Amino acid sequence: MRLVLLCATFVSLGCSLNTPVRASDHPNVLIVTVDDMSCDSIGVFGCPVPETTPAIDAFAKTALRFTKAHVLVGNCMPGRNLMWSGLYSHVNGVEGFRQNPEPDYPVLCDLAKDAGYFTAIRGKVNHSTPYTPYAWDAVLDTDADGKKYGVKDVESYGKSTRDAIRLAKQADKPFCLMVNISDPHKPFYSQGFKEGKSDPNVPSKIYTADEVAVPGFLFDDPVVRDELALYYSSVRRADDCFATVMDALQQEGAGDETMVMFLSDHGMPLPFAKTQLYHHSTHTPLMIRWPGRTKPGSIDDQHMVSAIDFLPTLIDVMGMSHPTPDRLHGRSFAPALTGQTVDGFRYVIKQYNENSGRWRQPMRGIQTSQWLYLYNPWSDGKRVFSTATNGTNTARRMAELARSNPDIQRRYDIYQHRTVEELYFVPNDPDCRVNLLEQPAGDRAKVQQTVDKLREQLAMELERIQDPVAPLVRDVENAQLRQQYMEGQDQFGDQLRGKKRKRGNQKKSSSTAG
């Protein structure tokens, strides 16, 4: 799924943008997301590559930074729907890239409208709600003449932000706006252009292969470095887009009254990050600026907040109401914004179900400040994981080198087949290279108590949210139960792909006939 920047602008209802406002009034909310950006691609979160995000780093000096925040799904559409519904995917019905045409729950857009907000969105429109078109007051993907903006067009993001603020002012309402920046989602900078054509959307800094750092979960190779150079150039272009959004906020006179939340929807679109539940798949650079409430340049390193908590928190911050608040799976961490300690934020529960091709390969995970436990019921040594990163140059190079390099062959086998259970000690192994459950028996015995505790906690949480994977976690040694479950998942996936083909054939026939 892609990086999320959340920005929230606070202006009192019915108030001029040039009039002082009270932070306690219904705030404007600007949600800006960037796509497929790893947390440590950002300077203030430890990026080893220099100057990738100067605008975001400057913003960080004015904001509260959460060091242990996570999204919960490694791909975009289910991840975003989880955020804005406050419900895990098996309940909100958006488990992959399939719309839910009849949701029985409200999402952020609905709640904001009910509370008197003007709602608008730019980018990722069909990924951000259960179905499209949805009930937004404005979709800002086009210019004044109706021409569609390019998703990599830097200046267009500032234009959309200004348009939304002005439309809300005309409506005499506070606004709830999502600005979803496409970069660094593929295609990366300069990719996809025919020979003789160049990318018109040039980042303010272009990286070369010798300037990048290779993440520990990948391998150092010229092909990998070339792709990473394009990725980091795209990260810089995402930062350029963010700068235009923040400039627009200031130009419209709303900067001093703005609560800003910044985050990524998931990790980089390369192997062992996107479409996974590893540490770098879900670790997100959440930052929040709320003038008068958050302390500039402050750090929260105690609360493990997550995407499931965003909606409950915004409900509190925006003064909204939810018709069935007890149904929400997350909790509000609003008190933490003012430096208070909130009990209970000690771990996050991760969930993955299917990819864009509707292949069902469920995974569940629990991560604490130290440990990451993953459960993969689909893994049987034969099934090959269908990940969105298979088409990357890095994945193809890994497959090529695996034929002659034993070390890369071992990594490629993990990439393709995984194992039923994985356990990582994140402080020492954030790249998740050493599965402690595949160590010699003596070493595994040292962590057995830990894995038992994590497995029990995961099972309890899955039972709380009525996740159908819960019984499998309870009976983790039961291979027959896993097999039966996956046979049902295979049948469901086959049905979904059959329906997809049927719709495609109908569309084709209609087109031919018409």
Q: Are 321 and 399 in a shared domain?
A: no
Q: Are 328 and 433 in a shared domain?
A: no
Q: Are 157 and 76 in a shared domain?
A: yes
Token digits for 509?
Answer: 């026939």
Q: Are 334 and 438 in a shared domain?
A: no
Task: Go through 280-294 and write b for each residue having 16 or more CB atoms within 10 A of its CB, e for each that does not.
Answer: bbbbbbbbbbbeebb
Band the pLDDT of 25: cuts 50, 70, 90: low
Q: Are 328 and 411 in a shared domain?
A: no
Q: What is the pLDDT of residue 102?
A: 96
The residue behind tokens 């709303």 is 254
Task: Encode 438-450 in three state secondary structure.
Answer: HCCHHHHHHHHHH
> Does residue 232 fall inside a structural domain?
yes
> Does residue 507 fall inside a structural domain?
no
User: CA 14, CA 90: separation in Å to the nearest integer?
Assistant: 39
- CATH number for position 35: 3.40.720.10
> Does residue 146 fall inside a structural domain?
yes
Q: What is the pLDDT of residue 256?
A: 82
Residue from 354, 350, 413 nearest 93 by CA: 354
> Does residue 333 carry a pLDDT above 90?
yes
Pairing of strands 138-139, 298-300: unpaired
Q: What is the pLDDT of residue 501?
A: 58
> Does residue 387 fall inside a structural domain?
yes
The residue behind tokens 């087949």 is 417
Whether 160 contacts 178, CB under 8 Å = no
> Does residue 18 carry a pLDDT above 90?
no
> Does residue 138 carry a pLDDT above 80?
yes
> Does residue 509 carry a pLDDT above 60?
no
99: number of Cβ within 10 Å: 17
Q: Are 390 and 287 in a shared domain?
A: no
Q: Are 450 and 307 in a shared domain?
A: no
If you write DSSP's letter for every residue of 115-181 in order, what string do you get? Answer: TT-EEEEES-GGGSSSSSS-S-SEE-SB-TTSPBPPTT-HHHHHHHHHHHHHHHHHHTS-EEEEEEE
Residue 64 parent element (H or E)? strand 64-66
Choose the weakest-confidence range: 16-25, 204-213, 214-223, 309-318: 16-25
> Does residue 76 carry a pLDDT above 80?
yes
Q: What is the pLDDT of residue 444?
A: 85
> Does residue 75 carry a pLDDT above 80?
yes
Choose the weakest-confidence range: 271-275, 368-372, 499-503: 499-503
User: CA 118, CA 167: separation in Å to the nearest integer?
Assistant: 8
Collect all residues with Cβ–Cβ distance below 8 Å to 146 and sequence separation of at least 6: none
Domain count, the chain: 2
Q: Are 154 and 295 in a shared domain?
A: yes
Domain carrying residue 192 = 7-345
Band the pLDDT of 110: cuts 50, 70, 90: very high
Out of 302, 326, 345, pick the residue that ends a domain.
345
Q: What is the mean pLDDT of residues 123-149?
A: 96
Band the pLDDT of 112: cuts 50, 70, 90: very high
Q: What is the pLDDT of residue 45?
A: 98
> Does residue 400 carry a pLDDT above 90?
yes
Pairing of strands 371-375, 64-66: unpaired
The residue behind tokens 């208070």 is 340
> Does residue 357 fall inside a structural domain?
yes
> Does residue 340 fall inside a structural domain?
yes
Out of 345, 362, 397, pick the residue that ends a domain.
345
Which has the higher per-residue pLDDT, 446 or 481? Answer: 481
Band the pLDDT of 120: cuts 50, 70, 90: very high
Q: What is the mean pLDDT of residues 386-402?
A: 96
User: CA 192, CA 283: separation in Å to the nearest integer?
Assistant: 29
- For CA atoms 205, 211, 217, 222, the dihedral sign is positive
Q: What is the pLDDT of residue 8?
A: 35
Q: What is the mean pLDDT of residues 222-226?
A: 98
Mean pLDDT value across the chain: 91
The predicted-structure confidence for 417-468, as pLDDT tens digits, reads as follows: 999 999 999 999 999 999 999 988 888 888 999 999 999 999 999 999 999 9
Token digits for 198?
Answer: 């160049």
* In 175-309, alpha helices (H): 222-251, 279-282
Q: Are 376 and 336 in a shared domain?
A: no
> Does residue 13 carry a pLDDT above 90?
no
The predicted-structure confidence for 156-175, as pLDDT tens digits, reads as follows: 999 999 999 999 999 999 99
Choose the weakest-confidence range: 21-35, 73-87, 158-172, 197-211: 21-35
> Does residue 56 fall inside a structural domain?
yes
Long-range contacts of 154-160 (CB under 8 A, 24+ apart): 154/201, 154/237, 154/240, 154/241, 154/244, 155/244, 157/32, 157/122, 157/181, 157/241, 157/242, 157/244, 157/245, 158/244, 158/245, 158/247, 158/248, 159/248, 160/122
> Does residue 489 carry a pLDDT above 50?
yes
Q: What is the pLDDT of residue 1?
A: 33
Q: Are 310 and 395 in a shared domain?
A: no
Out of 320, 345, 370, pick the residue that ends a domain.
345
User: CA 231, CA 495: separation in Å to the nearest integer?
Assistant: 36
Band the pLDDT of 295: cuts 50, 70, 90: very high
The predicted-structure confidence for 296-328, as pLDDT tens digits, reads as follows: 999 999 999 999 999 999 999 998 999 999 999
Phi-psi region for residue 36, left (φ > 0), alpha (ψ -120 to 50) or beta? Answer: left
> Does residue 276 fall inside a structural domain?
yes
Q: What are phi and psi of 99, to 5 degrees?
A: -75, 155
Band the pLDDT of 16: cuts 50, 70, 90: very low
Phi-psi region for residue 2, left (φ > 0), alpha (ψ -120 to 50) or beta? Answer: left
Band the pLDDT of 502: cuts 50, 70, 90: low
Phi-psi region for residue 387, left (φ > 0), alpha (ψ -120 to 50) or beta? Answer: beta
Burial category of 362 from C-beta neighbours within 10 Å (exposed 0-12, middle 13-18, buried 19 and up): buried
Collect all residues with Cβ–Cβ distance below 8 Å to 262 and sequence separation of at least 6: 4, 5, 6, 7, 32, 56, 59, 63, 242, 285, 286, 287, 288
**For the chain, percent of residues with pLDDT exceeding 70:** 92
Band the pLDDT of 21: cuts 50, 70, 90: very low
Cis peptide before 187 (omega within 30 of 0): yes
Residue 299 parent element (H or E)? strand 298-300
> Does residue 5 carry a pLDDT above 50?
no
Q: What is the mean pLDDT of residues 119-129?
A: 96
Band the pLDDT of 54: cuts 50, 70, 90: very high
Q: Are 264 and 306 in a shared domain?
A: yes
Q: Are 301 and 443 in a shared domain?
A: no
Whether 331 contacts 337, CB under 8 Å = no
> Does residue 2 carry a pLDDT above 50?
no
